[in-house]
Amino acid sequence: MVEHLLAKEKVAGSIPVSRSLFLFNRATSPSGKARLCKSCTSGSNPLVASLLDVIFVHVFFIAIRCFLMRSPHSYATEAIVLKRTDLGEADRILTLFTPGKGKFHAVAKGTRRPISKLAGHVDLLCRSQLQLALGRNLDIVTQAEGRENFMHLRSDLWHMTCGFYLAELVDRFVEDQTQHYDIYTMLLETLRYVDADAGALQQQREKATPLTPQQEEGHTRLRLRYFELHLLMAIGYEPVLANCAYCASEIRPEENGFKAALGGVLCPQCSRHWERRLSLDALKALRYMQRSKWSDVARMRPDARLHAELEAVMYDLLRYHLERDMKSWSFLEMMRNV
């Protein structure tokens, strides 16, 4: 049989089967004759031999194709680092937020060592291009290249705290392994805005221009409210602002109430359910932020009283949905009083 095929290959210049035939014979039995009939082994049936020849070649190429089409062991993605937790002596677990896979955790090995090449590229809030290897439990960051580091934001304590607050909001409210491209884009745009705001304020300070507390944090503070509101809307917790959340009657332009547990604004007739008063200015501001793009909202200039009221209402909503306070709130409050 073997001689027959080799002769065929040599003479006709047909498909090179000697290798595949050799492998087949090895796999079937040590003698190479276990599955061959007498006529084949004696080389007396060229038709059967040719058929086997074709089958062997097909099996061989199918095996190669399966090997090449196996799922890859690694993948590349862009990510914003939301959180870092120490692991062992030198490693860290990163909470990553990506445009395609949503939020997930990965191991960055050796990033707590001073000589680590990865460390500078996987800082908190850093937007990086990562290469990850599939792991048994958690994927492993094998390469990282920082794309945006938000340096202005990092050089100002108030703005840096705001950046960490944004990351905490996403970490708490977004489920793992769920794609949220809209929230990813919103987080990135907000970080860029806060970074630019911090840069503009630093320039003003360098010119020795005296700044009021309102100028110091006004724009970023409004941007935080806008982000909170639109984050809740993106995950299905949009507050009710047009009608009473209890009796559904239309909200009139007057002082109303608010209760996060009932989902939004309450009319004066339902005042027994009010958790806090809601001024007409605050209601207008919330409605405007709810339906407008940031480019329009950025033109708003709320005074300190309105800022405080909007913040209180949004904190009520976030606390109700989260069932606890955010860690960053106490830091933001501390920064404001410095």
Binding site for Zn ion (CB under 5 A): 244, 246-247, 267, 269-270
String of DSSP letters for 281-323: HHHHHHHHHHHS-HHHHTT----HHHHHHHHHHHHHHHHHHHT
Q: How far is the CB of 278 from Zn ion (least distance, A)?
A: 13
Task: Give 5 or 267: the residue with its C-beta nearer to Zn ion.
Answer: 267
Q: How far is the CB of 263 from Zn ion (least distance, A)?
A: 12
Tell me which long-range contacts 229-236 makes (C-beta under 8 A, separation of at least 24).
Answer: 229/286, 229/289, 229/290, 229/314, 230/186, 231/169, 231/170, 231/173, 231/183, 231/186, 232/173, 232/317, 232/318, 232/321, 233/290, 234/180, 234/182, 234/183, 234/186, 235/173, 235/174, 235/180, 235/183
Task: Give 163 or 264: the residue with its C-beta nearer to Zn ion.
Answer: 264
Token pair belonging to 230: 């639109």
Task: Give 56 or 258: the residue with its C-beta nearer to Zn ion.
Answer: 258
Task: Give 240 or 300: the residue with its C-beta nearer to Zn ion.
Answer: 240
Q: How far is the CB of 268 from Zn ion (least distance, A)?
A: 8
Q: How far is the CB of 250 from Zn ion (least distance, A)?
A: 10
Task: Give 267 or 310: the residue with its C-beta nearer to Zn ion.
Answer: 267
Q: How far is the CB of 241 from Zn ion (least distance, A)?
A: 13
Task: Give 28 or 269: the residue with its C-beta nearer to Zn ion.
Answer: 269
Task: Give 92 or 259: the residue with its C-beta nearer to Zn ion.
Answer: 259
Give 307's contacts (C-beta < 8 A, 6+ positions apart). Answer: 218, 221, 222
- In this structure, what is the dihedral angle of CA atoms 321, 322, 328, 331, given to the nearest 10 degrees? 80
Task: Give 128 or 256: the residue with its C-beta nearer to Zn ion.
Answer: 256
Q: How far is the CB of 244 from Zn ion (least distance, A)?
A: 3
Pairing of strands 139-148, 102-108: parallel
CA distance 67 to 14: 25
Which residue number is nearest to Zn ion in terms of Cβ?
244
Helix (H, G, I), strand (E, B) or coil at 41: helix
- 251: DSSP letter: P
Closest residue by Cα to residue 245 from 234, 253, 256: 256
Q: How far is the CB of 272 from Zn ion (least distance, A)?
A: 10
Q: How far is the CB of 280 from Zn ion (least distance, A)?
A: 16
Cβ distance 317 to 260 under 8 Å?
yes
Task: Give 85 or 269: the residue with its C-beta nearer to Zn ion.
Answer: 269
Q: How far is the CB of 290 from Zn ion (least distance, A)?
A: 19
- In this structure, what is the dihedral angle of CA atoms 135, 138, 142, 145, given to the nearest 10 degrees? 150
CA distance 118 to 110: 8
